[in-house]
Amino acid sequence: MNTMRAVATLLLVNCCAALSPHASVLRRCGSATPPSAAEATRALREIVNARQDDWTPLLDRRWRPVFSVKPDADEGRFLTVKAEQEFRSDGSFTNAIRLLGLKFVFAGTYALQGSTTTLVIERLRLKILGVPMPAIDVREGRGIRGLIERIRGRRKDGSKRPNVYSWCYADGDVCVARGSSGSTAVWVRADG
């Protein structure tokens, strides 16, 4: 058993060593001197098919999205929205977005199975100029979300797009995931 664990650790170390130049480029996406969009896109495409089994680096850290590539795009773009996401080891998450003196905080639970994380958004908290407003129930089919779903309806095929991330890579400072929209994004650690 110890031999198998040692082999697995060695494989993970070798995998991470091979990916480290690309991860290093992606870490710079959140710095004062970011790489070019073309360089970041190349690094993201190299790292996106990484094989990783340990996703604990995602947990109990705040992450800031910094770069994204849409499925059919030749080149990605740097993100200017002020947002943070946190996955906690207790199975809860928050996703906060700041926009023009408003702060939207979506909160709920997640299930991590392999490299796939499914999010269940349960409530929305809004802060206006730092003043917290009462939480709003946004569970599927309930409260304001139920009203919006009835008005807007579902996609043409009757389904709705799930809130799913398929993680590609994560270490203590950078993570990469593909969302259910098909876009791939890079997050850097926000609390480090």
pLDDT per residue as tens digits for the range 122-173: 898 998 888 888 888 877 666 555 555 555 555 455 555 567 889 999 999 9
User: pLDDT confidence of 16, banded at 50, 70, 90?
Assistant: very low
What pLDDT is attached to residue 49?
80
- Rounded Cα distance between 94 and 190, Å, is 13
Q: Is 14 exposed, middle or buried (0-12, 13-18, 19+ CB in 10 A)?
A: exposed
DSSP-derived secondary structure letter, 4: H
User: pLDDT confidence of 8, banded at 50, 70, 90?
Assistant: very low
Domain count for the chain? 1
**pTM of the prediction?**
0.77
Domain range for 13 is 2-189
What CATH number has the domain bearing residue 16? 2.40.128.280
* Residue percentage of the chain with pLDDT more than 70: 78
- Rounded Cα distance between 156 and 45, Å, is 31
What pLDDT is attached to residue 129?
85
